[in-house]
Amino acid sequence: MKNIVRISPYLFLFTFILPFCLNAQKTHSDNGDGTYTNPLIPADFPDPDVILVDDTYYMVTTTMFVFPGVTVLKSHDLVNWEYCSNAVPRFDFSPCYDLDGCNRYSHGQWATSIKYHNGRFYLLFITLDEGGFLCSAVNPEGPWEIRKLPRGFYDPGLFFDDDGRIYVAHGYGEISITELDSNFAPKDEDVLVYTGDIRDGLEGTHVYKINGYYYLYCTYGGLDGIQVALRSKKIYGPYEQKVVIRDTTPGVNFGIHQGALVKTQTGEWWTILFVDSGPFGRFPSLQPVTWIDEWPMVGVDGKAVVNCKKPNVGKDYPEKDLPVSDEFDETTLGMQWGWNHNPDPDRWSLTQRPGYLRLTTAKVVTSLREARNTLTQRPFARYDQTIPTAGVTRMEVDHMKNGDIAGLAVFQDPYAYIAVKQDKGSKQLIMVNNGEIIASAPVEDNTIYLRTIASNHTRKATFEYSFDNKTFMALGDELSMRFSLKIFTGNKFCLFNFATKETGGYVDFDWFRVN
């Protein structure tokens, strides 16, 4: 183990540039002049599906093993989004979601289909291990009811036909359509309607009926994804295929694919797809759609747009930023937060000490990967990619027990963190990179400020500490961030406290602030 303590060069960089880069700090794509810039949201909101109900657009995305999860966003203009609900507060269908001897990293909820029918909202999704699930609600803000279905469907596309019948399109490589009964159980056998013939991996199907055609809006997935439309006059085919966008231009839209078609109130057509965008995850992208020979062609001249005029929805709406910082002054967590797997509700609190998040150790574990009550948040990339994203927290560590480790992490595979560790009654700061203690430093006070500076552009994250929130000192080395399919979500900021010897110790987080 090597000890590395130095004044961070980022401290001076931030001091110099912060007054001049406020535009780069925004977390929305609205440019304020009637245009927007992709990515639509520069953070990990993958597998989007979008619908319009009255004057509001709703988008559901994938959260995998993070709960509250199955995040639903809402917007009035397709550009400025805000949190609507996390439809599934916790997922109690396997002990693995409690990190009870197993886990659901890279598994869990994904590729959800959202529909509105006869006054109810529906969310249909699959988990690879537990099967199919349906959430429903009258109010999209919740509460949502969840129930396990008799069968799951891979990357389901739920569809209510105008004759009252219910279908789901699904599959990987081979796309099938299955009619469902009123309980969303299969009514008949699957009908194979199309076998992908461009390459392996045709998936992510959503179903639409437009001008007499049934459209299956699908992707050939991967980093260089291909978005296609299949169409037929009959639900069971035969279907013909058209590539609607295949853009491998280096930049923010490389390999844009998998998402939803949506029509505005004024008759315009748009699509929200996503792009694998580095270690911060998969970012949604908003693209115009032009109908040519009754095919929904995406982008402009075969290329996805970066800057574009905003959709015409009949009126103007204000700019909105999704929240990132939290003072922990409320009695509930902000909707930007999610726990790594199900939390233990008895071991965290916002009320035991008002104004603070208290994390009490929940179980004895060997590493952060196994630790319950790890609170996570998506980092947002900057539209000026040269500017990194910094997260800082104030933590009080008076009541730790021997073997406790508490601090701030950037979590994926690999992961790293800066933390206070208590051993034999004394505390020290440690920096851990992928399970190995890289460096340590003495603890001078029971109130400590921890900071990580992460760049989606350089794919690096560094870790620092301070005792006065003014002078920060770096500890350890850089984390080389990756987007690993072993985790299958973007890197997350994490606040944590776990025990390696005995439970019952706790720490208090006063706040968490970004940049």
Q: What is the DSSP secondary-structure string of 332-383?
A: S--TTEEEESS--GGGEESTTTTTSEEEE--SB-SSGGG-SS-EEEPPPPPS
Distance in angstroms (rounded) separating the CA atoms of residues 376 and 494? 4
* 11 vs 98: which has the higher pLDDT: 98
Q: How far is CA 383 from CA 23, 45, 273, 462, in A?
A: 8, 16, 18, 20
pLDDT tens readout for residues 377-397: 999 999 999 999 999 999 999
Sheet holding 81-88, edge to edge: 49-53, 56-60, 69-75, 81-88
Average of per-residue pLDDT across 449-462: 98
User: What is the pLDDT, as a whole number, of residue 17?
Assistant: 32
Q: Distance from first CA to last CA of the chain, Å, rounded?
A: 30
Q: Which of the four pLDDT bands, split at 50, 70 and 90, describes residue 20?
A: very low
DSSP designation for 187: S
Cβ–Cβ < 8 Å for 316, 372: no
Distance in angstroms (rounded) separating the CA atoms of residues 372 and 390? 24
Distance in angstroms (rounded) separating the CA atoms of residues 230 and 207? 10
Q: Kindly report each contact of residues 252-256 with a partner whose C-beta sits within 8 Å and lies 24 or more positions away, as own/partner.
A: 252/38, 252/39, 252/277, 252/283, 252/285, 252/306, 253/38, 253/285, 253/303, 253/304, 253/305, 253/306, 254/223, 254/224, 255/222, 255/223, 255/224, 255/225, 256/225, 256/227, 256/285, 256/287, 256/298, 256/304
User: What is the pLDDT, as a whole number, of residue 66?
Assistant: 98
pLDDT at 13 over 70: no
- Partners of 113 in the beta sheet? 124
Q: Above pLDDT 90, what percent of the chain?
A: 94
* Rg of the chain taking only CA atoms, in angstroms: 23
Q: Which of 221, 225, 270, 316 is nearest to 40 (CA)?
A: 270
pTM (predicted TM-score): 0.94
Q: Which residues contact 53 (CB under 8 A, 6 or more apart)?
A: 116, 121, 140
Q: Which of 30, 44, 47, 508 is catalytic?
A: 47
Average of per-residue pLDDT across 81-88: 98
Distance in angstroms (rounded) separating the CA atoms of residues 36 and 251? 16
pLDDT at 260 over 90: yes
Cβ–Cβ < 8 Å for 89, 135: no
User: What is the pLDDT, as a whole number, of residue 25?
Assistant: 52
User: What is the pLDDT, as a whole number, of residue 15?
Assistant: 34
User: What dihedral do alpha carbons 99, 340, 280, 59 form, nearest 10°?
Assistant: 110
The two tokens of residue 276 are 């694998």
β strands within 93-181, DSSP E: 110-117, 120-127, 131-137, 145-148, 157-160, 166-170, 174-180
Q: CB atoms < 10 A from the CB of 94, how many?
A: 16
Mean residue pLDDT of the chain comes to: 94
pLDDT at 119 over 50: yes
Residue 23 dihedral angles phi and psi, to the nearest 5° = -60, -35
Cβ–Cβ < 8 Å for 127, 155: no
Secondary-structure class of domain 45-309 per CATH: mainly beta
User: What dihedral do alpha carbons 182, 187, 190, 194 form, nearest 10°?
Assistant: -50
Residues of the chain with CATH 2.60.120.200: 337-514
Q: Above pLDDT 70, what percent of the chain?
A: 95
Active site residue 47: yes
3-state secondary structure of 14: helix
Active site residue 436: no
Residues of the chain with CATH 2.115.10.20: 45-309
Distance in angstroms (rounded) separating the CA atoms of residues 512 and 510? 7
pLDDT at 80 over 90: yes
What is the third-level CATH fold of 337-514? Answer: Jelly Rolls (2.60.120)
pLDDT tens readout for residues 31-60: 999 999 999 999 999 999 999 999 999 999
Least reliable range by pLDDT among 22-26, 159-163, 293-297, 300-304: 22-26
pLDDT at 177 over 50: yes
User: What is the pLDDT, as a whole number, of residue 19?
Assistant: 31
pLDDT at 317 over 80: yes
User: What is the pLDDT, as a whole number, of residue 461?
Assistant: 98
Q: Which residues contact 195 (CB under 8 A, 6 or more apart)?
A: 173, 174, 175, 202
User: What is the pLDDT, as a whole number, of residue 515?
Assistant: 84
The two tokens of residue 201 are 């991996």
Q: Which of 203, 247, 276, 464 is catalytic?
A: 203
3-state secondary structure of 224: coil
pLDDT at 197 over 60: yes
Q: Which of 265, 365, 249 is nearest to 304 (CA)?
A: 249
pLDDT at 219 over 80: yes
Residue 368, CA atoms < 13 Å, CB-side half-sphere: 34
DSSP designation for 186: B
